[in-house]
Amino acid sequence: MTTDQKKEALKNLKAEMEADKSLPLRDQATQLVFGEGNPDTKIYFLGEAPGFYEDREGRPFIGQAGKLLSQLIESIGFKREDVYISNVVRFRPPENRDPEPEELATFAPYVDREIEIIDPKLFVTLGRFSMGKFLPGAKISQVHGKIQRVRWRGKEITVVPMYHPAAALRNGAVMQQLKEDFKVIPQALAEVDKPKTEQLTLV
């Protein structure tokens, strides 16, 4: 897909979600919070759910956790606009409670379609709920910052699970770890960009 085709497809997907009255959490929320960023990015960041400010403004990761996320992205030489930032749940849960399994399941087909349009090379999950999409059953304390090659919907993909920035804001040790883990992203990108060994053998 060209950039314009991707933009159009994302616009249509957002409109479809806005019209889908079966989506949970809609009644208590102000508005849908869709993903945003560069549709041609290699890196797709996947968070949990909108909070107070995201709900008010209709944009993902713009509160305190979002500011930290932007700084972390800049710490590895990218700008926020270079990447794509999204969430597994698109309406704010009341009092920012954890998403329920049925809620995650109802949003999932839309998240999958967004991923299909963007077709990123690298998935960075923020927190355990987005990690669970690609690595069900994994423990974040064991896999954070480690490059994971997984088979997902018939495709080999690369995922780097990370702690959620909001958790880092609450705990200094998690903050240190998250900053360290971000340094893995350039390395993971270099690996996904590397030609496959089989191709090298043919040359």
In whole angstroms, give the CA distance from residue 40 to residue 7: 9
Taking contact as CB under 6 A, which single stretch among the options 62-70, 148-156, 171-179, 189-197 is the one that binds ligand URA? 62-70
CB 105 → ligand URA: shortest distance, Å? 17
- Please report whether residue 87 would count as binding ligand URA according to CB under 6 A: yes
Q: How many residues bind ligand URA (CB under 6 A)?
A: 13
- Nearer to ligand URA by Cβ, of 65 and 73: the residue is 65
Q: Which is nearer to ligand URA, 41 or 192 (CB)?
A: 41
Residue 54 binding ligand URA, by CB under 6 A: yes
**Shorter beta-carbon distance to ligand URA: residue 93 or 120:** 93
* Between 42 and 90, CB nearer to ligand URA: 90
* 103 lines the binding site for ligand URA (CB under 6 A): no
Residues 107 to 166 in contact with ligand URA, rule: CB under 6 A:
166
Q: Which of 59, 45, 75, 50 shows the shortest CA–CA distance to 179?
A: 75
Residue span binding ligand URA (CB under 6 A) among the ranges 36-44, 45-53, 114-122, 147-155? 45-53
The distance from CA 124 to its chain's CA centroid, rounded to whole angstroms, is 6
Residue 35 binds ligand URA (CB under 6 A): no
- Binding ligand URA (rule: CB under 6 A), the pick from 34, 61, 78, 84 is 61
Give residues in contact with ligand URA (CB under 6 A): 47-51, 54, 60-61, 63, 65-66, 87, 166
